[in-house]
Copies of this chain bind each other. A is one copy, B any other.
Amino acid sequence: MDDILFTEEFKTNPDKYVLPSVAINNVIFGFDDNKVKVLLLRTAYAELWTLPGGFVLKEDELITAAERLLKLFTGLDSVYLKHFGVFGAVNRAEKERELFLNDQRQDNQLNYNFFLQRFVVLGYLALVQYKQVSPLSDDVRQCEWFDLESVPELTFDHNLIIETAFRELRFQLNYLPIGFNLLPEEFPLKSLQKIYETILGKKLDRGNFNRKILSYGILEKKEKYFSGAANKAPFMYSFNKEQYFNALENGLGAF
């Protein structure tokens, strides 16, 4: 249970339950409306938004901890989740030190002392299907999707963490299950193309893109249609899971 974090017992005795000075932050990417999205969390203590995150319970494997947090904030399990970097700058809590000074409410102090410690943050990158996520929303915490291009100023060094995660995403574009994890079960080819275009930051030629992506033999054409627009309905496709992961091993070649 993550919610040990919100008990009095944890606040007075955190090192009994979690690995000291180690924290986890998840950069959760989604894709919708032709834009890369990232899931952020409204903090209780300030106007700043923050990355969903938490700590490693003593009995948890690292990846288990990351999965537990992902589940907490999105409701999902078994999605793509991968460590991509560490963040432990000495001064990464400077901003918070000031913010907390301005909030003298007694019952927050214990928490503040805990959060102002120096942590080594393990960054985990998640790729999820936008529509499947139920962003956490309870009395204290609310999650919301943001366009990657309009992420506001965040707590700690979280802006840096997101930048790093996205650079990793771009770098590994041909080695990560990008489409597979970001798109729903069935999708038109253009959606996949848009993902590549967005991440690469450049336009791709439809014919060439289709020629190439289909040549891998990882897609299956469906008979179903998508409707609603004033044009011919595009064919839907789905990934052949087995062949897809097979092909990823060797990389999909560069776009």
Residues of B contacting A20 in the complex (Cβ-Cβ under 8 angstroms): 15, 20-21
Residues of B contacting A88 in the complex (Cβ-Cβ under 8 angstroms): 19, 22, 56, 61-62
Known: A20-B20, A21-B22, A120-B122. 17 other contacts (CB 8 A): A19-B21, A19-B118, A21-B21, A22-B22, A22-B88, A56-B88, A59-B90, A60-B90, A61-B89, A62-B88, A62-B89, A62-B120, A83-B85, A83-B86, A86-B86, A86-B122, A120-B120
Could you tell me how many residues of chain A have their Cβ less than 8 Å away from some Cβ of chain B?
22
| Contact digits for A62-83, partner B, Cβ 8 Å, 1 yes 0 no | 1000000000000000000001
Q: Are A86 and B62 CB-contacts (below 8 A) given A19-B21, A118-B19?
A: yes
Q: Are A22 and B90 CB-contacts (below 8 A) given A83-B85, A85-B83?
A: no
Nearest-Cβ distance from residue A85 to partner chain B, whole angstroms:
7
Majority secondary structure, A binding face? mixed
Binding site for B on A (CB under 8 A): 15, 19-22, 56, 58-62, 83, 85-86, 88-90, 118, 120, 122, 171, 175
